[in-house]
């Protein structure tokens, strides 16, 4: 499997420069960072959360965790919890489970990005598979996704 078709079409049609980083099959964000030879703090992981009755994609550096209290405030939600894979598997067609790119807008899912990711020139993330990542300019990512920026990542 290669870069998710929706993602590739979006990047190509918007004439975005990007690199595809092939790597051995891995399943955790930290393992993707190691396999793709990218510092963990520079790899963006996508975490699906359930905010009240909707799904939201929380995008943050691989080594950090979602602070649900802070995300709840940013979302203005009554309740925020980690979504179960079975709940969101169908939301990202063409993507391997757990390897969805942070382009929730392509799948009708709102995207929140932790502010710490905005400080890097590049962003690296899963390409919809467990064997490829994409590196592109953060400014291009922000232009295409138009995420809400918030402070919700905990840990170093």
84-132 tens-digit pLDDT: 999 998 999 999 998 999 999 999 999 999 999 999 999 999 999 999 9
Per the structure, the complete domain to which residue 67 belongs is given by: 5-151
Q: How confident is the prediction for the chain on average, in pLDDT? A: 94
Domain at 135, CATH number: 3.90.960.10
Is the pTM value of this prediction over 0.75?
Answer: yes
Dump pLDDT digits (tens) for 39-81.
888 899 999 999 999 999 999 999 999 999 999 999 999 999 9
With b for 16 or more beta-carbon neighbours within 10 A and e for fewer, the 12-39 pattern comes to: eeeeeebeebebeebeebebbbbbbebe
Q: Say what the pLDDT of residue 41 is.
A: 85
The total of structural domains in the chain comes to 1
Is the CB of residue 120 less than 8 Å from the CB of residue 34?
no
In a domain, 156, yes or no: no
Is the CB of residue 99 less than 8 Å from the CB of residue 129?
yes
């Amino acid at each position: 499997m290669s870069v998710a078709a929706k993602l590739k079409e979006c990047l190509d049609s918007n004439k975005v420069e990007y690199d595809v980083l092939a790597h051995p099959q891995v399943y955790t964000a930290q393992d993707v960072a190691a396999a793709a030879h990218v510092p963990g703090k520079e790899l963006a992981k996508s975490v699906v959360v359930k905010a009240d009755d909707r799904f939201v994609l929380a995008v943050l550096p691989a080594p950090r965790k979602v602070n649900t209290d802070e995300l709840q405030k940013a979302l203005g939600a009554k309740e925020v919890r980690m979504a179960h894979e079975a709940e969101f598997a169908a939301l990202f067609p063409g993507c391997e489970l757990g390897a969805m790119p942070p382009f929730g807008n392509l799948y009708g899912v709102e995207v929140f990005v932790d502010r710490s990711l905005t400080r890097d020139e590049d962003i690296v993330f899963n390409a919809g598979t467990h064997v490829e990542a994409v590196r592109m300019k953060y400014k291009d990512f922000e232009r295409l996704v138009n995420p809400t920026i918030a402070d919700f990542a905990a840990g170093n």
